[in-house]
A and B are shown apart, each in its own frame.
Chain A
Amino acid sequence: EAEVAQSPRYKITEKSQAVAFWCDPISGHATLYWYRQILGQGPELLVQFQDESVVDDSQLPKDRFSAERLKGVDSTLKIQPAELGDSAMYLCASRPATGSYNEQFFGPGTRLTVL
């Protein structure tokens, strides 16, 4: 069964350093989401892509976060510089291009710890 892939699974960094996370959605899934999940809370959307275009980045802290999906397939989320409050699980999800069924498939996440 196809799954969303993410790497790395764990990342420890010091504040003010740059970090990057990678997501490979299920093949054929045109819509890709990056969510942030703080411990003990539900995931919150950071950015949504439709193919290579950003359709919603209203909750993305653009002074330090950036995201791209250059070829409309895999995606990278970057934080520069990292702050202590960025410690969280970063989840990538994707959904199919066709149909209105909104099931989103999640990757295993990248757990970020900022020291």
Chain B
Amino acid sequence: GENVEQHPSTLSVQEGDSAVIKCTYSDSASNYFPWYKQELGKRPQLIIDIRSNVGEKKDQRIAVTLNKTAKHFSLHITETQPEDSAVYFCAASIDTGRRALTFGSGTRLQVQP
């Protein structure tokens, strides 16, 4: 089955700096890669996703890049703000058949004011 590894486990940045979280996956058949943000005690919320036919996707301060050959994808947050502080999870799945997501272990991002 799919295995997703995520690094780093914790990340502390100053407000305004950029943050990068990296994930690798094992199943070359995976073609859908979402990122979820989970604030303390709240549900995971989708913040951005990318499909394997695209190498990069951007939404305001958030971007995701995908390298299919190397089987890794990354989340980039620019101009970080204190409200970006949360746990971020990457995930991978095969889009067809409504397969379940395989999640990474999470990155706790702390943005220092």
Q: Is A72 an interface residue (CB 8 A)?
A: no
Q: Which residues of the other chain, A, contact B25 by a CB distance below 8 angstroms?
A: none
Complex CA distance for A91 and B93, rounded to whole angstroms:
18
Complex CA distance for A33 and B44, rounded to whole angstroms:
14
- Contact at B106–A102, with CB atoms within 8 Å? no
Distance from B26 Cβ to chain A, minimum over Cβ atoms (Å): 15
Q: Is A106 an interface residue (CB 8 A)?
A: yes
Chain B contact patch, size range: 20 to 34
Distance from B91 Cβ to chain A, minimum over Cβ atoms (Å): 7
Q: Is B103 an interface residue (CB 8 A)?
A: yes
Distance from B35 Cβ to chain A, minimum over Cβ atoms (Å): 11
The number of residue pairs between A and B whose CB atoms lie closer than 8 Å in the complex comes to 57
Q: Which residues of the other chain, B, contact A31 by a CB distance below 8 angstroms?
A: 98
Give the residues from 65 to 101 in chain B that come closer than 8 angstroms, CB to CB, to chain A: 89, 91, 93, 95-96, 98-101
Distance from B93 Cβ to chain A, minimum over Cβ atoms (Å): 6
- Contact at A48–B45, with CB atoms within 8 Å? no
Distance from A21 Cβ to chain B, minimum over Cβ atoms (Å): 14
Q: Which residues of the other chain, B, contact A35 by a CB distance below 8 angstroms?
A: 100
Q: Which residues of the other chain, A, contact B34 by a CB distance below 8 angstroms?
A: 102-104
